[in-house]
Amino acid sequence: MKFVKDFTWKPGMNVNTLVGNMGNIGFQSIELNNAVESIVKMKKDGAKIYLTFTSNMVTSGLRGFFAQLIKLNMVDAIVTTVGGLEEDIMKAHGEEFIIGNFATDDIELNEKGINRVGNLFIKNESYSRFEDLINPIIKDIYKKKNRWAPSELFNEIGKTLNDENSILYQATKNKVPIFCPAITDGAFGFHLFMFQQNNPDFVIDVVKDFQNILLSTSHDEKKGIISLGGSISKHHAILACLLNGGLDYAVYLTTARHTSGSMSGATTDEAKSWGKIKDASDAATVIGDVSITFPLVMISALEKLTEQGIIKNDE
């Protein structure tokens, strides 16, 4: 039996100690600490770890952290939406996004050619420059062969980048596949469509990639997921693991609520009714803004794993 303990600050407190002490406060603080323990266990158990996230998290400054996690061998596969991969390419080529605010005149922003993602602003020029960048890459890829699975395509694009903070760059360098089942749902999809009008034999084979993600694991292999947000990126990884016997470890971090009946709000408990997560799995659901909860959870887990010699940071 555990009891609530008063939280106090001590000079020099590291993130691991902070989150560990939060595990005795109550409410979501306990789930935050549970999430850390689940991540540590999945890594120590040698589980194949699927990291899923939505594009808005790449719009934010979490992009470089995702790339670092790949470099640290904390991730075995990524599932995401295409907007984040577009913005990863943009940032790899020097594009900078603006910190604005939530309370702004959106009509005025539109007149100025600025797009708002929460309290972050992206100029139209960034997408124009993305078009100039991506079209030559698509042409070069087409010269190599005319049929690509999305994960193969993103691996090839990663070869063209030279940015340590790029998700695509690190994924290609460290042989981590990136799956994007909704590849057409963004600017990149539009450019693929336009290219195909003049090259009708050019095919992006999403069904082939469904095979690839299914074969990325097996029934016998331990499997874990760290899911940030929801949508198709979350479900695609869970479905692949369901068809391979279910997840042994699961950590969900989201702002969505289970009462909506949505995939984004579905908890790890609800997933057990589908067999997506095994009955005896080690799981946690943290409700809160991922830009706050994920750095706390993951840094605490990294500090634990570093102390135990499971991962090594040469930086």
**Active-site positions?**
276
- Whole-angstrom distance, CA of residue 34 vs CA of residue 19: 10
Alpha carbon distance 246, 221 (integer Å): 10
Q: What are phi and psi of 118, to 5 degrees?
A: 65, -115
135's CB contacts (< 8 A; 6+ apart) are: 191, 195
Nearest alpha-carbon partner for 58 in 92, 35, 32: 92
264 within 8 A of 231, measured Cβ to Cβ: yes
Short-list 74, 82, 98, 87, CA closest to 165: 87
